Structure 1
């Protein structure tokens, strides 16, 4: 019997100009208004998706890459996904919403109170995608950016402090008994006095306890330190890896080992692998697209270099396509996972940049390390990974425009449901309930 899988949507472009650069811009949705996102998330919920994760980067980047990031809206502008979340909760009843948050941008007490408020307002459907983007440091104070690992150290202190505040109302502190005339018992509140390396603050929190658990913590880090953070703190890991059983098992083993090392059970972390499928009507059409991508011209490579420059906050368009890539051009703030994805397994000391970008351009067939195929083939892949690699589920990677949602889901959802892979109804308990249903 097929194993039920968890499904989520990763809004990889963030709360930005949806439709820009695509023909469906002429649907005339306004990306700055909530209706576009409300329509799409209602349909994700109808499809049985557990959660929506919204990417974010608070900065437009450094001076050398700002134009690259905004010229085609690759990396900006972006509005704050935390403020979009209430509109999405108001349009739905079950699906979780997970905006990206940066510890540098929120003092712990303010963060704990705001997140607690959203958790209550949403029916306990809030998640937090915790990122450690250090390139944004200059926007939040005079301190310089932290190193990669130090940023994770700060994030762990930040999250631990927030959890202490959420838990500062002990058992029995909230009474809310009109007959007794007593709302709360102050003697059962913990003062919380945090004096750490990065933050100093006091509690208790001016917000009541949760009935269905704290907000779900999501993390995307793929480095050794990032995987350690996930093992210690996360309920969901946004994972990137080749979608074959051996790679899936290897990645899952790393997360599980990190969880056990921090005294948690492996099952405490749901690992969802991100994939951006290109679903077509026939195997012949898939083969045609794959063949057409095999030999990209310089214009196509430049387009990919512009996109990569946005993610890496480093202008690759000025690099010699036919020379090896000098890794010293990347500052300490650049995501190690993003650099690894650019390298694609190549040795940067001997491989020209052209080969790395060409690999990014080349499409592959579903089942052969790629993402192009029919809905039936994609369902085969998901079912196989669940059965042979004990996978928890997948995150479909795309924008949140209704055209994109329908293009991917219209044929796929009925197939997944007929196979018993995709839920047909929700239980209760908010986002935590979605993740623990099976």
Structure 2
């Protein structure tokens, strides 16, 4: 795979009162218009001017209310408590741009295949083939209760269900032939019924019988984003994902993970060159090293201890107020984690402890701080050098850029770092086409093999 000019840049967004960094709303330059379309449209235009490939929204179906079994601390401190439906916001951003890709998170645990298929296929038509679905299985009991369930399903079972969910969604997306619609007014033939297939699915989790109502989209079908990093989640990502969002601590770990994941993709009979792997990073750029250091110090000062405790409780489905900082997790507690098992596994590995303490989870995960993701800090040239080194050494295919505050993080990155990446020849100066797949260097999606 050619490396010159192909680096993918993805913006990591939230349809909420803060960015991925929960302290971002406290930043003196953070805009507070997150309940308006203009807020998101400004972000979209900024990213399109910087030739970003895509902006995608992470999402949860509940606010972080597991800490202390109460929502009070999260609400009081503004810890990701405003959460709007991201698919709706894609429309607002899409109508303000022409080529920027746009993705949203929808859960396979709490939605139905036909609903998800129709929402994203419709969006892909309305936005000219620029849409992606970030597939998640959700995290915790708060989401379950919001969606009318008693508790969140066990980790591996969620992925078993999600595999079948994906088969149905892709089958629905590809149930119309590209040439099914005739529109022959003279003969009265609208579409060739022999080129529209009815789904007859009898599985373990779903009984789906019917004919889909949305023809194939400009890019064939919406792209699939996935972030599974645990054992079962990783297999799911390798089997289905087209853009893989990962978290890596350093370039050596990223290189190792890159090779292993590309091999996993190949083991499913898929072409590894058609899958993009992009780690999440924070970037803080300044005209000088001193300016960047001042910006970073300000950002770091915004974090509160409660941020990390609330977010760890959310993603691990465990009340972090129930243990002392020096108290170890039992084997039973670790085995019972239903949420992001990748965080649990990394804490066990990096702490060197079979039974890490609550403090180890806070320290190793970096949750609620900018230490959660790899950081590139300094002058534009320095940041571009580090990003280029990761990219050219096949540690990644690009980056998911998280924001320390909105919109300033993206404005700084586009103004300062993008020109440096372009000068190095690793990032494009113009869009390659009009659809998301074209701009990521991927071919139009071929019809899904229903007998897979």
Task: Name the TM-score, length of structure 1 as normaliser.
Answer: 0.87
- 1:214 and 2:229 are equivalent in the alignment: no
- 1:253 and 2:259 are equivalent in the alignment: yes
Cα 1:396–1:171 shift into 2, 3 Å: closer
CA distance in 1, matches of 2:433, 2:294: 45
Aligned to 1:150, which of 135, 138, 157? 157
Q: Is the 8 A contact 1:75 1:310 kept in 2?
A: no
**Residue 134 of structure 2: SS of its match in structure 1?**
strand
Cα 1:344–1:124 shift into 2, 3 Å: same
Per-residue CA distance 1:266-312 (angstroms, 9 max, x = gap): 11211011101233443456678999999x9xx96555334433443
**Residue 350 of structure 2: SS of its match in structure 1?**
coil
Residues 12-27 of structure 1 correspond to what in structure 2 (within 5 A)? 14-18=14-18, 20-25=25-30, 27=31
Q: Is the 8 A contact 2:230 2:342 kept in 1?
A: yes
Number of matched pairs: 427
Unpaired runs of 5+ residues, structure 2, are 19-23, 444-452
Aligned to 2:242, which of 213, 235, 240? 235
Residues 322-341 of structure 1 correspond to what in structure 2 (within 5 A)? 322-326=326-330, 328-329=332-333, 331-340=336-345
Cα 1:317–1:280 shift into 2, 3 Å: farther
Q: Is the 8 A contact 1:3 1:387 kept in 2?
A: no
Residues 266-277 of structure 1 correspond to what in structure 2 (within 5 A)? 266-277=272-283
Q: State the 1:342 CA deviation.
A: 5.0
CA distance in 2, matches of 1:323, 1:337: 21
CA distance in 2, matches of 1:320, 1:200: 47
CA distance in 2, matches of 1:253, 1:68: 41
CA distance in 2, matches of 1:347, 1:119: 46
The match for 1:40 is: 43
Q: Is the 8 A contact 1:236 1:272 kept in 2?
A: yes
Aligned to 1:132, which of 134, 137, 151? 137
Aligned to 1:414, which of 401, 415, 419? 419
Cα 1:327–1:292 shift into 2, 3 Å: farther
Cα 1:329–1:407 shift into 2, 3 Å: farther
Q: Is the 8 A contact 1:220 1:239 kept in 2?
A: yes
Q: Is the 8 A contact 1:124 1:430 kept in 2?
A: yes
Q: Which moved more, 1:333-342 or 1:408-417?
A: 333-342
Cα 1:304–1:139 shift into 2, 3 Å: closer
Give the RMSD, CA atoms, in angstroms: 3.1
CA distance in 1, matches of 2:232, 2:211: 31
The match for 1:85 is: 90
**Residue 428 of structure 2: SS of its match in structure 1?**
coil
Q: State the 1:78 CA deviation.
A: 0.4
Q: State the 1:55 CA deviation.
A: 0.7
Q: State the 1:363 CA deviation.
A: 7.7
**Residue 254 of structure 2: SS of its match in structure 1?**
helix
**Residue 25 of structure 2: SS of its match in structure 1?**
coil
The match for 2:6 is: 4
Q: State the 1:133 CA deviation.
A: 1.0
Q: State the 1:176 CA deviation.
A: 2.1
- 1:279 and 2:285 are equivalent in the alignment: yes
The match for 1:375 is: 380
CA distance in 2, matches of 1:193, 1:351: 48
Cα 1:292–1:39 shift into 2, 3 Å: closer
Q: State the 1:344 CA deviation.
A: 6.8
Q: State the 1:163 CA deviation.
A: 1.1
The match for 1:427 is: 432
The match for 1:321 is: 325
Q: Which moved more, 1:87-96 or 1:305-314?
A: 305-314
CA distance in 2, matches of 1:74, 1:375: 30
Q: Is the 8 A contact 2:388 2:426 kept in 1?
A: yes
Q: State the 1:169 CA deviation.
A: 1.6
Residues 377-416 of structure 1 correspond to what in structure 2 (within 5 A)? 377-389=382-394, 391-398=396-403, 401-416=406-421
Q: Which moved more, 1:191-200 or 1:352-361?
A: 352-361
Q: Is the 8 A contact 1:228 1:255 kept in 2?
A: no
Cα 1:357–1:167 shift into 2, 3 Å: closer
The match for 1:161 is: 168
Q: State the 1:187 CA deviation.
A: 2.7
Cα 1:34–1:118 shift into 2, 3 Å: same
Q: State the 1:328 CA deviation.
A: 4.3
The match for 2:21 is: none
**Residue 440 of structure 2: SS of its match in structure 1?**
helix
The match for 2:232 is: 225
Cα 1:341–1:374 shift into 2, 3 Å: farther
Q: State the 1:220 CA deviation.
A: 0.9
Q: Is the 8 A contact 1:176 1:184 kept in 2?
A: yes
Q: State the 1:210 CA deviation.
A: 2.1
CA distance in 2, matches of 1:62, 1:225: 27
